[in-house]
Each structure stands twice: as C-alpha cells, then as structure tokens.
Amino acid sequence: MCPIAMQNTLTPPKTLSVTQAANLLGIGRTTVGCWIRTKKLHADRVGRNYTISVDALGFFLKSNGHTIPPELADAHLSGPFFRNFQPCWQYWQESGHDRNCENCVSFKNQRDLCFTTRNSGSLQCPHSCNECKYYQEIYLPRIQLIYQFDLPAALLRDFSFWGGNAKWAELCGVSERDLIGLGIESVIHPESLETVISDVKKRNFGHPEVPRTYSVFLKNIELCKDGDKLAVIISLYPLRDPAGTLLVLAEP
C-alpha cells in the first residue's frame, strides 16, 4: 500500500519524503531527486534529507501535464494546486536569475512579501509588481477570486493589500497595479483606521466576537481632498491559505 494511503484520512499528510513521493508516483527515487536538484520540484532540505509539500508536488505534476494520483484526491488535496510560498530571493535563485538580491531591502530584512516594500526605493526589481513573474506565479493565482465579484473586492494580509479588482481600485482612487502592496493606512480614513487594525488583530487571534460587517470611512486618494471621507460598508471573510488572509468586500 502507498505510504500516503496508510495515513489517517482525517489528518492527511502535508509533506512527503522523497521515497513516499516516488512510491506515490510509481517511479524511482532518483527521478524525484533529479527533479529536486534541477529545481523543477521545490523541496525543503532537513539535514541530509528532503521534504516535499503535497501542494508543491501537485503543482509540479499539474503544470507538467502529469496525472494527479488518486491518493491525493482521496486525501482531499486535489487542488487547485499553487506554487509553494517562498521568498522572492529564493524563487529567483531557483530560477537561475541574478537579481542582485543581496542589495535588496526585502532580502536584507527577510521580508516574505517583497511587494509590501515596493515604495521603499530599495527594491532591486527591474519590473513593477504586476509585471513580475514571481508575483504572477506565487500570489496572483491565489487572488483570482476577487475578479469574480461585482462588488469592490480585495485581498488583505498583514495590513497590506495583495491586490484588488477594478471596482476596489476605483473606490480607493488608485490603479489596480498600485493596489499591490498598498498599506491600509493609505486607504482607511484615520477615523476608522484604529478600529480596522484592532478588529484584524482580534480576528487573527481567533477572537469570537469580531463583527464580519461594519461601516468605515475610506479616503479615496483622488476624490477626497482636505480630509474628506467616503462612507462604505465592508465585510471581511477569513481565508484558509495562508492563515491571516482576508477577503474584503465593500458596498458604498
């Protein structure tokens, strides 16, 4: 029996050893090892061994046209599969590109979300975030759901937006590309900022009485001048992956 099938189905494994992955796919360990060494399959090194996340394996198989083993579906891990979260400097290193990462503020401060530091003037990126291959492969697939809403919608984590749809950008008075990495202090009016920050923190700590929907004031960067504010109703919905990510919907 395949090692993954022997696991308790109530708690499916999140990572596999090279041997488990090889057995699952019916191939040799050397083939899996080759995928890892050539950077085709992302794996984390633990001592002398490697661990492969199920998501990384699923993404690799799907993006290379391989069949997803039924054991993954049986474990309720049948996608959608995304590339593993990894820092931008690690991504570019694995992709074989020289990005001058050692001089980048994101690398120096070990910031996982490099796009939240894009206004620092110290990022060593030749392209804007919305044109960046790293952002497009790691983050953009996870926020595609926001483009399905007719309401203004955005994704928020660690008090910075990962992105938003056209209606959310219009509500905030910025372009869609400028939403990437924008801090909430640039959007939420000072009268509401303390409440929003407090509620987000409580929600991240699992507080049971945080409201999901409430009224706030926004400061539309284009329309609101001299402290003017725009009243909206926002709803926050926590997402599972990654923890602490919020889907934000707004109604004027």
Sequence-distant (≥ 6) Cβ neighbours of residue 177 within 8 angstroms: 128, 129, 130
Residues of the chain with CATH 1.10.1660: 3-74
Residue-wise pLDDT for 50-83, tens only, equals: 998 887 888 788 777 787 787 766 554 545 667 7
Q: Considering the entire predicted model, what is its pTM?
A: 0.71
Q: What is the pLDDT of residues 233-250, one digit of tens each?
A: 999 998 877 778 899 999
Structure-block tokens of residue 92: 């570019």
Q: Burial-class residue 213 by CB neighbours within 10 Å (0-12, 13-18, 19+).
A: exposed
**In the CATH scheme, what architecture does the domain 3-74 have?**
Orthogonal Bundle (1.10)
For residues 162 and 144, give the distance between their C-alpha atoms in angstroms, rounded to a whole number. 11
Domain with CATH 3.30.450.20 in the chain: 140-251
Judge whether 143 and 127 are in contact, CB under 8 Å: no
Other CB atoms within 10 A of residue 150 CB: 8
**Distance from C-alpha of 178 to C-alpha of 171, rounded to nearest angstrom:** 13
Superfamily of 140-251 according to CATH: PAS domain (3.30.450.20)
Residue-wise pLDDT tens digits, 79-116: 566 777 888 888 887 766 656 788 888 888 888 888 88
- Please give the average per-residue pLDDT across 160-174, as a whole number: 92
**pLDDT at residue 9 greater than cutoff 50:** no
